[in-house]
A and B are shown apart, each in its own frame.
Chain A
Amino acid sequence: MRNNLELYVHIPFCVKKCGYCDFLSFSCDEHTQGKYADALMREIKAYGARMKDYTVSTIYIGGGTPSWLDENKMSEILDTVYTSFQVSKEAEVSMECNPGTVTAAKLEQYRMAGINRLSIGLQSADNEELKILGRIHTFEQFVKTYELARNAGFSNINVDLINGIPYQTCDKFLRTLQKVVRLKPNHISAYSLIIEKGTPFYERYKSDALKQEAGMPTDVLPTEEEVCRIYKMTQEYLDKAGYIQYEISNFAQPGYECIHNIGYWTRENYLGLGLGAASLIENVRYANTADLYEYMKEPAKNRTADEISRKAQMEEFMFLGLRMKEGVTRERFFREFGIPIDGIYHAALEKLKAEGMLMIREGRIALSEKGADLSNYVLAQFLID
């Protein structure tokens, strides 16, 4: 039997970096973009040759803004993937794109290149909020992009949203959801804004973020209570609109769950290609260099490898698996590690169950509503001393 493999392809370029973003992305000229794409293709070929025993089940092209890259280059990259790897016919092939960076022709070419799922970074339907975030587009531009995508034949579209934006209230976010749901995307992801170190937002909102974390009154960020309300409202509203919450921050129409993402939570093998990309292959975790020039010089060489200990594998099994609504099963734990889950986590499971953080039913262990609210607390309990 051939093993499954998910591919992640990283395009680290953005027209302009947003104030909150701490992903590996930056603005750069077309020439460098071209050279990067060439290096990426060299890497794809090199790993394709090394991983003949795997069948690629999903491809995810993320960024940065992959749609900013020249569409011919994008086609070339995907062609290289198809010729270098054994890609399943039913493979889910996603690409992230930002409003205002695509045209009908570009989208048409993506379709031709095999992309069958688009993930559009909207973040908010409120133009004021978009400005605060430092986005380069308006809601109206998003609608245009969305319609172009539908017209180009994309039948699986995700919309990325961020909540917890400065000055946001539950009502404001509800209006964003209403506007988005009206367009009937197949998938919606709603993450919280995190004030990450090293971003302009950190300088701006650092103290407010600390207040938020401490549950204190805040100046511009929504308070913890408000964030909590927003989360509950999102769940209820999207549930009514026919979206199933299959993961802590992800909602999908039935049958439109992101297979690639689920792979991360179930610890499928995945190969990260491109600058700074991470991989997990047969319990070894790899990370590519984050140095652009080092990468472009020898794209398939500069990566670190960390073998994941059995202990760490169990920890990951739990703290990744529990992100999913359906959680983890005793049976699968036993299958992977050869011992009953209670042999390792009896105390943690009992404690969390008593605290009302977990639902344990018929061999299935999942976060309760309360557990989902305090997931960091719950997941940390599964780290072994």
Chain B
Amino acid sequence: MSVKQDKIRNFCIIAHIDHGKSTLADRIIEKTGTLTEREMQAQVLDNMDLERERGITIKSQAVRIIYKAKDGEEYIFNLIDTPGHVDFNYEVSRSLAACDGAILVVDAAQGVEAQTLANVYLALDHNLDVFPVINKIDLPSARPDEVCKEIEDVIGIEAMDAPRISAKTGLNIEDVLEQIVEKIPAPAGNPDAPLKALIFDALYDSYKGVMVFCRIKEGTIKVGDPIKMMATGASAQVAEVGYFGAGQFIPCEELSAGMVGYFTASIKNVADTRVGDTVTNANRPCAEALPGYKKVNPMVYCGIYPADSARYPDLRDALEKLQINDASLHFEPETSLALGFGFRCGFLGLLHLEIIQERLEREFDLDLVTTAPGVIYKVHKTNGEVIDLTNPSNLPDPSEIEYMEEPYVSAEIMVTKDYVGSIMTLCQERRGNYIGMEYLEETRALLKYELPLNEIIYDFFDALKSRSRGYASFDYELKGYERSELVKLDILINHEMMDALSFIVFKDNAYERGRRMCERLKGEIPRHLFEIPIQAAVGGKIIARETVKAMRKDVLAKCYGGDISRKRKLLEKQKEGKKRMRQVGNVEIPQEAFMSVLKLDED
């Protein structure tokens, strides 16, 4: 199949979360007839169960669409969907690298939000041409004129002729399609040059091996070509090439410069494929690799353990499989006294952590125990050595520590005037440093703070939403490290230290946290035949204590008419409860307890 380069448009849709990105994608697919109505299901591109349930896009997805434009020509659109949440900036970044342009969706009622800005800047960084679309004009609260002006003022891109649409009802979608043809540049690149393709995603198929999603920048790839991954050095022979239908892979003869598609090459070793790597022809390699992506570093770490220790190899296997199309996921083996063998895993943020945890549980049927998430601390030792601390248990003895540093972020919070006060209070409580405030318009302000990352990873986003009645939006980037007074809080259960429950905390908060942790654990740990003290300690000094009293007496019901099935159920429940527990010393601890540190701020 030969496709003229000037008839191809590779683009993505970027937006703040909830501004209707996935709905617009659905509508584009529907309008171009890629899917029959019967096949059309809401949010076609969000094909992970999890994405549909949460209404968010986690993984990038791509689809090829054929559009007959008003000029009478047929165009091929490669639409690459991108996630909207701040945690998935990295995913956005790699999708953008496969595109030549981007549609910016802005909610006609909400206007420009923190993520709108962040995503536009990301797109501009990748030299993409961006055009705006005003969505949700069917809402009574829509104010498209103001929002257009806001886009021009705040972002500085032309917005007066932005299509005003309702992705929900399908209103004015044609305008968007026409503007894709007009405003998004056709790809460049010489199809006869040596192959140079950028890997922007991959997934593992148990029959075909790794499926590599790529954008061909130069040259051509076809079945039988010997290929080489430039960074990993792995080589293989192409078994299949193809492009993305809606929800399916459609094989084709070749992919040439400017096209987006996939190939398989019986790659069984997951580690051979690295997103961001350049694929070239082994016999006729290109001179140099593409710049790839800026490597992203995880910001949040936690321990993940299989609830059933026999499933440790399954967990490793699952993490490896998730990592091929989620390069931002890091993991390395670790052991815990309380939890056995597991992995210390690094994530972009707490949502990313939750998503991975849920995917592991659903897609791989694993039962997990997760320890409290933490950030990376820098420990400056007295001998001049500096270590990156991702696991609190590895904190050196205090006598060896000169000082510690913790990561800070620069945060931008956009909020309506009425909630400025309560949001400032929140930032203050979270040890934030006020940097400044700008009014974007009369009613909305942009607050700038520097906050310790540690203070925002648990529940900052939720707190922000509840204190602003959902009106605040939030974006942050890592600023760097600052010296801080930090201590390790240890938890002792029945006088034994639970390594999996230790965490690093700001010194002044240690007492309060320790006290609440003990209270929380008291509610989680069932009573035993003996009394169990729960203690919080800093540097060997006990700062809080609770006690789980010993069991004394069961109440006994009448056994009615020989119906013993009820009694059996009661006993089975008691026994089943035990199975979900971890035996540490002579104490049985429910797995939920290891997550309890997360819930400290709930009440």
Chain A residues packing against B (C-beta within 8 Å): 8, 10, 23, 60, 62, 164, 189, 191-194, 196, 212, 214-215, 224-225, 227-228, 231, 248-249, 264, 270, 272, 277-280, 285, 287, 315-316, 319-320, 355, 373-377, 379-380, 383
Among A8, A320, A373, contact of B554 (Cβ-Cβ < 8 Å)? A373
User: How far is A36 from B40 in the complex, measured between Cα atoms in Å?
Assistant: 57
- Confirm or deny: B575 has a beta carbon within 8 angstroms of a beta carbon on chain A: yes
Among A164, A225, A270, contact of B552 (Cβ-Cβ < 8 Å)? A225
If the complex has contacts A224-B553, A377-B551, are A270 and B564 also in contact, measured as CB distance less than 8 A?
Answer: no
| Docked-complex contact A285 and B565, CB < 8 angstroms | yes
| Interchain Cβ contacts under 8 Å between A and B, 9 examples | A192-B556, A228-B552, A272-B561, A278-B561, A319-B568, A320-B564, A376-B570, A380-B572, A383-B571
| Docked-complex contact B559 and A264, CB < 8 angstroms | yes
Write the chain A residue with the least CB distance to B549: A215
Write the chain B residue with the least CB distance to A319: B571
| Docked-complex contact B556 and A383, CB < 8 angstroms | no
Write the chain B residue with the least CB distance to A229: B553
Write the chain A residue with the least CB distance to B561: A8
Among B555, B574, B578, contact of A227 (Cβ-Cβ < 8 Å)? B555
- Confirm or deny: B567 has a beta carbon within 8 angstroms of a beta carbon on chain A: yes
- Confirm or deny: B580 has a beta carbon within 8 angstroms of a beta carbon on chain A: no
User: How far is A355 from B572 in the complex, measured between Cα atoms in Å?
Assistant: 21
User: How far is A314 from B238 in the complex, measured between Cα atoms in Å?
Assistant: 61
| Docked-complex contact A62 and B553, CB < 8 angstroms | no
- Confirm or deny: B52 has a beta carbon within 8 angstroms of a beta carbon on chain A: no
Write the chain B residue with the least CB distance to A263: B562
If the complex has contacts A228-B553, A373-B552, A380-B575, are A355 and B558 also in contact, measured as CB distance less than 8 A?
Answer: no
Going nearest first, the 7 A-B pairs with the smallest beta carbon separation are A192-B555, A228-B553, A380-B574, A194-B557, A278-B563, A376-B554, A380-B571
- B572: chain A residues at CB < 8 Å are 380, 383
- Confirm or deny: B207 has a beta carbon within 8 angstroms of a beta carbon on chain A: no
If the complex has contacts A380-B574, A383-B575, are A375 and B562 also in contact, measured as CB distance less than 8 A?
Answer: no
- B563: chain A residues at CB < 8 Å are 278, 287
Write the chain B residue with the least CB distance to A60: B561
| Docked-complex contact A374 and B571, CB < 8 angstroms | no
Q: How far is the CB of B548 from chain A (nearest CB, A)?
A: 8
User: How far is A267 from B556 in the complex, measured between Cα atoms in Å?
Assistant: 20
- Confirm or deny: B527 has a beta carbon within 8 angstroms of a beta carbon on chain A: yes
Among B527, B555, B564, contact of A264 (Cβ-Cβ < 8 Å)? B564
Among B553, B556, B564, B568, contact of A191 (Cβ-Cβ < 8 Å)? B556
User: How far is A380 from B558 in the complex, measured between Cα atoms in Å?
Assistant: 18
Among A189, A192, A215, A377, contact of B529 (Cβ-Cβ < 8 Å)? A377
| Docked-complex contact A379 and B571, CB < 8 angstroms | yes
| Docked-complex contact A375 and B559, CB < 8 angstroms | no
| Docked-complex contact B556 and A278, CB < 8 angstroms | no
| Docked-complex contact A10 and B527, CB < 8 angstroms | no
- In the complex, given contacts A374-B554, A376-B571, what are 12 additional A-B residue pairs having Cβ atoms less than 8 angstroms apart? A194-B555, A212-B555, A215-B551, A249-B558, A320-B564, A373-B552, A373-B554, A376-B570, A377-B574, A380-B572, A380-B578, A383-B572
| Docked-complex contact B561 and A316, CB < 8 angstroms | no
Among A191, A374, A379, contact of B551 (Cβ-Cβ < 8 Å)? A374
| Docked-complex contact B562 and A373, CB < 8 angstroms | no
Query: Which B206-261 residues have a C-beta within 8 angstroms of A?
Result: none
Interface residues on B, range: 20 to 34
User: How far is A296 from B575 in the complex, measured between Cα atoms in Å?
Assistant: 38
| Docked-complex contact B552 and A10, CB < 8 angstroms | no
- B578: chain A residues at CB < 8 Å are 380
Among A62, A225, A248, contact of B561 (Cβ-Cβ < 8 Å)? A62
Among B554, B556, B560, B564, contact of A377 (Cβ-Cβ < 8 Å)? B554
- A214: chain B residues at CB < 8 Å are 527
Write the chain B residue with the least CB distance to A375: B554
If the complex has contacts A264-B564, A380-B575, are A224 and B570 also in contact, measured as CB distance less than 8 A?
Answer: no
User: How far is A264 from B566 in the complex, measured between Cα atoms in Å?
Assistant: 14
User: How far is A191 from B555 in the complex, measured between Cα atoms in Å?
Assistant: 8
User: How far is A320 from B564 in the complex, measured between Cα atoms in Å?
Assistant: 9
User: How far is A380 from B560 in the complex, measured between Cα atoms in Å?
Assistant: 19
| Docked-complex contact A10 and B561, CB < 8 angstroms | yes
| Docked-complex contact B529 and A375, CB < 8 angstroms | no
Q: How far is the CB of A107 from chain B (nearest CB, A)?
A: 23
| Docked-complex contact B556 and A249, CB < 8 angstroms | yes
Write the chain A residue with the least CB distance to B560: A23
- B564: chain A residues at CB < 8 Å are 264, 278, 316, 320
Pick the most buried of A62, A280, A377: most chain B CB atoms within 10 A of its CB.
A377
User: How far is A287 from B582 in the complex, measured between Cα atoms in Å?
Assistant: 37
- A193: chain B residues at CB < 8 Å are 555
User: How far is A279 from B560 in the complex, measured between Cα atoms in Å?
Assistant: 12
User: How far is A62 from B560 in the complex, measured between Cα atoms in Å?
Assistant: 9
- B554: chain A residues at CB < 8 Å are 373-377
Write the chain A residue with the least CB distance to B548: A215
- B555: chain A residues at CB < 8 Å are 164, 192-194, 212, 227
User: How far is A71 from B563 in the complex, measured between Cα atoms in Å?
Assistant: 27
User: How far is A193 from B344 in the complex, measured between Cα atoms in Å?
Assistant: 48
- B562: chain A residues at CB < 8 Å are 8, 264, 270, 272, 278-280
- A192: chain B residues at CB < 8 Å are 555-557
User: How far is A60 from B563 in the complex, measured between Cα atoms in Å?
Assistant: 14
Query: Which B159-173 residues have a C-beta within 8 angstroms of A?
Result: none
User: How far is A212 from B527 in the complex, measured between Cα atoms in Å?
Assistant: 12
- A189: chain B residues at CB < 8 Å are 558
User: How far is A214 from B551 in the complex, measured between Cα atoms in Å?
Assistant: 8
- A248: chain B residues at CB < 8 Å are 556
User: How far is A279 from B561 in the complex, measured between Cα atoms in Å?
Assistant: 9
Q: How far is the CB of A276 from chain B (nearest CB, A)?
A: 8
- B560: chain A residues at CB < 8 Å are 23, 62
Q: How far is the CB of A208 from chain B (nearest CB, A)?
A: 13
- A316: chain B residues at CB < 8 Å are 564, 568
User: How far is A278 from B552 in the complex, measured between Cα atoms in Å?
Assistant: 32
User: How far is A193 from B556 in the complex, measured between Cα atoms in Å?
Assistant: 8
| Docked-complex contact A375 and B551, CB < 8 angstroms | no
Q: How far is the CB of B566 from chain A (nearest CB, A)?
A: 10
Pick the most buried of B553, B560, B574: most chain A CB atoms within 10 A of its CB.
B553
User: How far is A64 from B57 in the complex, measured between Cα atoms in Å?
Assistant: 58
Task: Give B537-553 as 1s and 0s: 1 = Cβ < 8 Å from A's Cβ atoms.
Answer: 00000000000010111
| Docked-complex contact B529 and A374, CB < 8 angstroms | yes
| Docked-complex contact B575 and A191, CB < 8 angstroms | no
User: How far is A227 from B555 in the complex, measured between Cα atoms in Å?
Assistant: 8
User: How far is A383 from B559 in the complex, measured between Cα atoms in Å?
Assistant: 19
User: How far is A383 from B564 in the complex, measured between Cα atoms in Å?
Assistant: 14
- B568: chain A residues at CB < 8 Å are 315-316, 319
Query: Which B571-589 residues have a C-beta within 8 angstroms of A?
Result: 571-572, 574-575, 578
- B553: chain A residues at CB < 8 Å are 224, 227-228, 231, 373-374
User: How far is A280 from B563 in the complex, measured between Cα atoms in Å?
Assistant: 9
- A377: chain B residues at CB < 8 Å are 529, 551, 554, 574
User: How far is A191 from B556 in the complex, measured between Cα atoms in Å?
Assistant: 6
Q: How far is the CB of A213 from chain B (nearest CB, A)?
A: 8
User: How far is A319 from B564 in the complex, measured between Cα atoms in Å?
Assistant: 10
- A215: chain B residues at CB < 8 Å are 527, 549, 551-552
If the complex has contacts A215-B549, A319-B567, are A375 and B556 also in contact, measured as CB distance less than 8 A?
Answer: yes
| Docked-complex contact B558 and A191, CB < 8 angstroms | yes
- B527: chain A residues at CB < 8 Å are 214-215
Q: How far is the CB of A251 from chain B (nearest CB, A)?
A: 14
Q: How far is the CB of A323 from chain B (nearest CB, A)?
A: 8
| Docked-complex contact A277 and B558, CB < 8 angstroms | no
Write the chain A residue with the least CB distance to B579: A385
| Docked-complex contact A277 and B561, CB < 8 angstroms | yes
- A212: chain B residues at CB < 8 Å are 555
- A375: chain B residues at CB < 8 Å are 554, 556
User: How far is A379 from B556 in the complex, measured between Cα atoms in Å?
Assistant: 12
Write the chain A residue with the least CB distance to B573: A380
Write the chain B residue with the least CB distance to A279: B562
Task: Give B423-443 as 1s and 0s: 1 = Cβ < 8 Å from A's Cβ atoms.
Answer: 000000000000000000000
Write the chain A residue with the least CB distance to B558: A191
Task: Give B493-537 as 1s and 0s: 1 = Cβ < 8 Å from A's Cβ atoms.
Answer: 000000000000000000000000000000000010100000000
